[in-house]
Chains A and B, each alone.
Chain A
Amino acid sequence: MADLSINLAGIKSPNPFWLASAPPTNTGYQVQRAFEAGWGGAVWKTLGDPIINTSSRFAAVNFNGQRVAGFNNIELITDRPLDVNLKEIYETKKRFPNHAVVASLMVEPKQEKWHEIVKRVEDVGVDGLELNFGCPHGMAERGMGAASGQQPDLVEAQTYWVKEVAKTPVIVKLTPNITDITVTARHAVKGGADAISLINTINSLAGVDIHTWNTVPHIGGKGAHGGYCGPAVKPIALNMVAECARHPEVTVPISGIGGISTWQDVVEFMLMGSTAIQVCTAAMHHGFRIVEEMIDGLNNYLDEKGLASVTELTGKSVSKYSNWGDLNLNYKVVARINEENCINCNKCHIACEDTSHQCIDMLTNADGKAILKVREEDCVGCNLCSIVCPAEGAIDMVEIDSGLPPMTWNERQQVVGGLSGAYSKAEVV
């Protein structure tokens, strides 16, 4: 069995599975239940000046029968006094000394405010701090959360203020509601961050009730934007993690967050540069015990791969994530339909004919059976047919030799640049 323990910038935990700062980590009772279930760490629900929440806070986006494909919330940070939270953190840490307990913090962007809360929280023995520069709703309207996390200079300054007094590792949690997350990641590093975590939730409105015309959720007929998370945001989060991981100036470890629901998701986030991961929506949907399946699945996967430690996964796919301009234009795949698995639903033909490159023909074979066949020379290898195909194994995307040497767009443009200069001269002559 592989070693699942990790060390994120000095914060050790028995496995990489942490609960994210959110409703599941609101109290000591919950965090201790989570640790009993197998979670390796928890980021306590954000501490700061206690707020007042609304009633009716969550909404989900269901898609084609899958419940909670996306999740939206307008809940704010803790509504409980700091002393109460600190007492429970102390008790939790005492009971689970080997688990990671990280305190999420959010205060006004003032040096003295950060100094005060950091000192008080570290006094009860937390393993680290996570600065919440990400919450997009409610707190942002008060100048905190995403409001300060969208300003690189404020990210840097606040991180610096925290680092002036912090004795434990400082993780900066980044908002995805920004054009380029590597900018704020770099400023967090410049401010002295020991690690970054991403992503926080994405600005969202879960829906509008077409019968009452109310927002979903609504509070007595009125709504406000919330934060979106859950499986639907995973591709967005994974890209942002990867962009940070491959940026040469983002030199700190990453805690990956965003739609992680399965052990396979965990592996993907680690391969793309995460040292540890955080989960919220999946735990809210299925309960704390989902971690059991995650631990078993990850263990089996590592054994199959012959890896002794989960840490060997971190960053292994980062070098494979590049810029479009550096992709080989002469690499070629084509679709091949396997008649034995094809159910002749014609979805591939329709998709290709209507919205792609019109290269799947509906034919009749020698036995009079309707078949679908790809004209490989016209196939651009877009993958659409295999994406829409409902029959397992009916369509393979097959790599073929284009007969041409590798050439990227950037390399091509250098050639074109030289030739267009020559072309202009030729025209003048």
Chain B
Amino acid sequence: MSAYDDFAKEKQDIDDLLARGYTVAGMLETLDGAKVKFDEAKPGSGSVELLLLTADARKYVTTLVFAGLEKAQ
């Protein structure tokens, strides 16, 4: 039993999308986890949604956005 494995898988999914040029476009936290919408950098192209279940992944994705905003300021 490893909670880390669950997180590692979700982190990998996030990192893969970001590596393919997607950006975090929206996030909706629900009782069943966080829905995170990723948009492709090119306008008009598709978007992908991940349902993040682990606390560490939900923290990780928001940290990335937060760090990006901090950097932009």
Q: Which residues of A contact B (CB under 8 A)?
A: 329-330, 357-358, 375, 377-378, 404-405, 407, 411-412, 415-416, 419-420, 422-426
Q: Which residues of B contact A (CB under 8 A)?
A: 1-4, 24-29, 35-37, 47, 59-60, 62-63, 65-67, 69-70
> Cβ of B1 and Cβ of A426 under 8 Å apart?
no
What are 18 inter-chain pairs, A to B, with CB distance below 8 A? A329-B63, A375-B2, A375-B4, A404-B63, A404-B67, A407-B59, A407-B63, A412-B59, A412-B63, A412-B66, A415-B69, A423-B26, A423-B27, A423-B28, A423-B35, A424-B26, A426-B25, A426-B47
Sorted nearest first, the 4 A-B pairs with minimum C-beta distance are: A423-B26, A419-B27, A377-B4, A422-B26
Which residues in A have their C-beta under 8 angstroms from that of B60? 404
Report the bound CA distance from A412 to B69 in whole Å. Answer: 11
Which residues in B have their C-beta under 8 angstroms from that of A375? 2, 4
Which residues in B have their C-beta under 8 angstroms from that of A329? 59, 63
Report the bound CA distance from A426 to B36 in whole Å. Answer: 11
> Cβ of A415 and Cβ of B65 under 8 Å apart?
yes
> Cβ of A416 and Cβ of B29 under 8 Å apart?
yes
Report the bound CA distance from A419 to B23 in whole Å. Answer: 12
> Cβ of A330 and Cβ of B26 under 8 Å apart?
no
Report the bound CA distance from A358 to B4 in whole Å. Answer: 11
> Cβ of B35 and Cβ of A405 under 8 Å apart?
no
Which residues in B have their C-beta under 8 angstroms from that of A407? 59, 62-63, 66-67
Chain B residue with the shortest CB-CB distance to A420: B28
Which residues in B have their C-beta under 8 angstroms from that of A404? 60, 63, 67
B23 to chain A, nearest CB (A): 11
- Known A-B contacts: A415-B27, A416-B29, A419-B28. Give 7 more (CB < 8 A): A357-B3, A377-B2, A419-B26, A419-B62, A420-B27, A423-B26, A423-B27
> Cβ of B67 and Cβ of A405 under 8 Å apart?
yes
Report the bound CA distance from A416 to B59 in whole Å. Answer: 10
Which residues in B have their C-beta under 8 angstroms from that of A415? 27, 62, 65-66, 69
Which residues in A have their C-beta under 8 angstroms from that of B47? 426
> Cβ of A330 and Cβ of B2 under 8 Å apart?
no
Which residues in A have their C-beta under 8 angstroms from that of B28? 419-420, 423-424
> Cβ of A411 and Cβ of B4 under 8 Å apart?
no
Contacts A415-B65, A416-B62 given; does A405 touch B70 at CB 8 Å: yes
Which residues in A have their C-beta under 8 angstroms from that of B63? 329-330, 404-405, 407, 412
Which residues in A have their C-beta under 8 angstroms from that of B29? 416, 420
Which residues in B have their C-beta under 8 angstroms from that of A378? 2-4
Report the bound CA distance from A416 to B62 in whole Å. Answer: 7
Which residues in B have their C-beta under 8 angstroms from that of A411? 66
B13 to chain A, nearest CB (A): 17
Report the bound CA distance from A404 to B67 in whole Å. Answer: 9
Report the bound CA distance from A358 to B36 in whole Å. Answer: 29
Report the bound CA distance from A423 to B25 in whole Å. Answer: 7
Which residues in A have their C-beta under 8 angstroms from that of B26? 419-420, 422-426
Report the bound CA distance from A378 to B4 in whole Å. Answer: 5
Contact of B37 among A357, A377, A416, A423 (CB under 8 A): A423
Which residues in B have their C-beta under 8 angstroms from that of A424? 26, 28
Chain B residue with the shortest CB-CB distance to A378: B4
Which residues in A have their C-beta under 8 angstroms from that of B2? 375, 377-378
B39 to chain A, nearest CB (A): 8
B42 to chain A, nearest CB (A): 16
> Cβ of A422 and Cβ of B65 under 8 Å apart?
no
Which residues in B have their C-beta under 8 angstroms from that of A412? 59, 62-63, 66
Contact of B65 among A357, A419, A423 (CB under 8 A): A419
